[in-house]
Amino acid sequence: MFEIFETLIFTIRLTNKFYSMKKLVLGFSAVFLGAILFVSCSNDEDENPVDQDFTPSQDYSLASDLFESTQSTADDAEQGGKNINGGRSGAPCATIDFDTTGPNDYHIIVDFGDSNCLGGDGKVRRGIFRVSYNGRYVDKGTKITHSFENYFVNNHQIKGTKEIENMGLDQNQDPYFVITVNGTIIKPNGTDSVIFNSNRIRTWIAGDSTVGVVPWFFDDVYQITGNGTGVVETGVASNGIPYEVVITKAVIVKFCILPFIVEGTIQLTPQGGSPRILDYGEGACDRKATVTFMGRTYNIFI
């Protein structure tokens, strides 16, 4: 069940319009899901029904991954849609319009049409995805908003907004960004839904001074802090299970041949249940982590 809570692959590119942090697939969610499923099989003797229901962990992982994936779609659209055209055939299946309504008021409209469109990432999409921004990614005060119109990924409807704001430099002179998601995922059955609210701070703690020096991204290091809350609904809101997600120790992502989460601790706690704690370790590029649940600790490989 713990896949990797959000697999982080950042690629950054400077354009005439904005500086985009590419393909941040912050892999916590997947790992978190796989690990929890593994742990659940080892705790069947527990009588607390909340501790036997891993729906909050599964649905948090689903929602987190879907909202993180919007960054890749936005970046691909900004480059002209090379990676969101129609799968292996390369047939165009999305129209991309760039609209400048005024100074520092830019929009990208990606219309995948009314039928599922297979992308190069193996996912199918339909509907309209919008990106609005007022400047370059690296400039303090730049705000980027992702919004959706009848937009589906793998038949899951994404609703709400994701906002990214460049806050400038922190006290350590590192650039940092506030990422806020207020969204809902409607599952393919059209009834079950996940309410997903997330607030995170992404800090570029190393490598920002070497952009443009190939291969510039190999020395990049990012720090993620924040939390998330949500209610998993099963058709009737009053039957939902609220949960809370907190990054209890800052998550550190760096390149170890590939980008990996090498440090940090994340805790997910459903209301009335026991916390599930994912610990990524102390900085080694070993892909090892632990999951602690109800007093037991399990080693996992991410």
Integer CA distances (angstroms), 253 to 2, 38, 132, 208, in order = 17, 24, 27, 14
Sequence-separated (6 or more) residues with CB below 8 Å from residue 40: 1, 52, 54
Mean pLDDT confidence for 16-29:
43
Model confidence at 12: pLDDT above 50: no
Average pLDDT along the chain: 77
Number of separate domains in the chain: 1
Model confidence at 91: pLDDT above 60: no
Model confidence at 32: pLDDT above 90: no
Residue 67 CB coordination number (10 Å): 23
Model confidence at 1: pLDDT above 70: no
Model confidence at 249: pLDDT above 60: yes
The Cα angle at residue 72 between residues 35 and 257, in degrees rounded to 5: 60
Instruction: State which residues form the domain around 213.
Output: 4-301
Integer CA distances (angstroms), 73 to 67, 92, 130, 137, 156, in order = 10, 15, 10, 16, 15
Which tokens hold the place of 171?
């006290």
Please give the pLDDT value at position 64. 86
Least confident of 16-20, 70-74, 164-168: 16-20
Mean pLDDT confidence for 115-138:
88
pLDDT digits (tens, 9 = 90+) for 271-298: 888 998 989 988 888 888 888 988 889 8
Please give the pLDDT value at position 11. 27
Model confidence at 18: pLDDT above 70: no
